[in-house]
Structure 1
Amino acid sequence: MEFIQQNWYWAALAAVSGVMLVVTSLRGGRGISPAQATALINREDALVVDVREAAEFTAGHLLNARHIPLGDLQKRIGELEKFKDKPVILNCQSGGRSASACAILTKAGFTNVHNLEGGIEAWVQAGMPISRQKKK
């Protein structure tokens, strides 16, 4: 007890971290690293869906990513129907919006949904390539 009183900020940090972990896992989807995402794309032809806004997407996105902003996901979910049982990787800037998108797809019956942990920021930090071209 004395340790916690003297180091209350570490205890608070641990508690907040635990709560964030629980909230993320309840949102749906499994978190995957950039390396795991690359393997899923290469081995299982995973679909990548970028849920950021248009300006963010244009600034740089994963190769061959499909752009569906989070605000439009519910009304455009039909575009993804044929991928319901295939791996789908969702990404945003840092992982928060894509976690929400994972929950939406999971609720809609998608069975193999993944959240790119850390979003495009983690992707770039891992030295992975990005594209600035619009998908045709």
Structure 2
Amino acid sequence: MNFLTQIDNLALIALLLVSGAALFLPTLSTLIGGKGLSPTEATIWINRRKAHVLDLRPEAAYKAGRLPGAKLINPADISAAIEKLKLDRKHPVVLVCETGAHSRKAINEVKKLGFEEIGTLDGGVQAWKQAALPLVKQ
């Protein structure tokens, strides 16, 4: 009976460790790789926090429809493009691409430029469209 109690205790401890890790991983991911933003959260950052919106898509996609206030940035030359825009580093940055995959890759490059708070639009412009939010067209 004593041996079974020890196994039960080990199982409970393992469950505790696994569930604790599962709860902590999203926080760790945010600290390491920036914050993933829903379209609603991105709207709040843009409107209330005056976030800079940087669009990493090709120019044709940008012209077909972009988030309000978005600036077109060449993902291959992010540092130079951001320096040229002379953005205020006190404001957060929202990185946008078509699906969210490319903007996640650009987070570290933007962090190196001194921006403390960086978010990516989860699901990219596709998620923005699905949320029926407006796009600016040229």
Please identify the structure whose Cα radius of gyration is greater: 2
Structure-1 residue corresponding to 2:33:
28
TM superposition shift of 1:26? 7.7
Ranges in structure 2 where 5+ consecutive residues have no aligned partner = 1-25
| Structure 1 residue ranges (4+ consecutive) displaced by more than 6 angstroms after TM superposition | none
What does residue range 87-126 of structure 1 map to in structure 2 within 5 Å?
A: 87-126=92-131
Does 2:137 match 1:132?
Answer: yes
- The counterpart of 1:37, out of the listed 25, 31, 42, is 42
Between Structure 1 and Structure 2, how many residues are aligned? 113
CA contact (8 A) 1:74 1:104 kept: yes
- Match of 2:41, SS state, is helix
CA distance in 1, matches of 2:112, 2:87: 16
Ranges in structure 1 where 5+ consecutive residues have no aligned partner = 1-20
> Scaled by the length of structure 2, what TM-score is found?
0.73
CA RMSD of aligned residues (A): 2.2
Structure-2 residue corresponding to 1:53:
58
> Scaled by the length of structure 1, what TM-score is found?
0.74
- Match of 2:47, SS state, is helix
Identity of matched residues, %: 39
CA contact (8 A) 2:52 2:87 kept: no
- The counterpart of 2:80, out of the listed 75, 80, 83, is 75
Deviates more, 1:59-68 or 1:75-84: 75-84
